């Protein structure tokens, strides 16, 4: 999409660690993009990708030029 920033990253969070997110102890998840940039993501944006094993996969974060969240999608 034109005018947006794309950040691709891998994520692997096990079920026990994910419980911290649901209990409110963790508000943000820090990821390193494929380009080496460190990005903090609001943990609530990842809840839709939760399975019984946690959250695993390759994702793409889309933001505005001002770094406002637009969406996250799983690529695999």
Which string of DSSP letters, residue by residue, matches 11-64?
Answer: EEEEHHHHHHHHTTS--EEEEE-TTS-EEEEEGGGGGGG-BTTEEEEEEEEEEE
Q: What is the pLDDT of residue 1?
A: 59
Residues in the chain, pLDDT under 70: 1
Q: Please choose, from the candidates 47, 59, 60, the residue with its C-alpha nearest in 3D space to the C-alpha of residue 18.
A: 47
Q: Would you state the pLDDT for residue 47?
A: 87
pLDDT of residue 16: 86
* Residues linked to residue 29 through DSSP beta bridges, in sequence order: 41
Decide if 30 contacts 53 (C-beta within 8 A). Answer: no
Give the pair of three-digit tokens for residue 46: 């990842």
- Check residue 69 and give its pLDDT: 96
């Amino acid at each position: 999409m034109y005018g947006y920033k794309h950040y691709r990253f891998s994520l692997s969070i096990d079920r026990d660690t994910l419980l911290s997110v649901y209990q409110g102890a963790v508000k943000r998840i820090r990821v390193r993009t494929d380009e080496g940039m460190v990005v903090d993501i609001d943990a609530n944006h990842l809840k839709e990708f939760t399975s019984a094993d946690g959250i695993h996969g390759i994702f793409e974060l889309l933001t505005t030029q001002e770094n406002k969240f637009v969406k996250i999608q799983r690529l695999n």
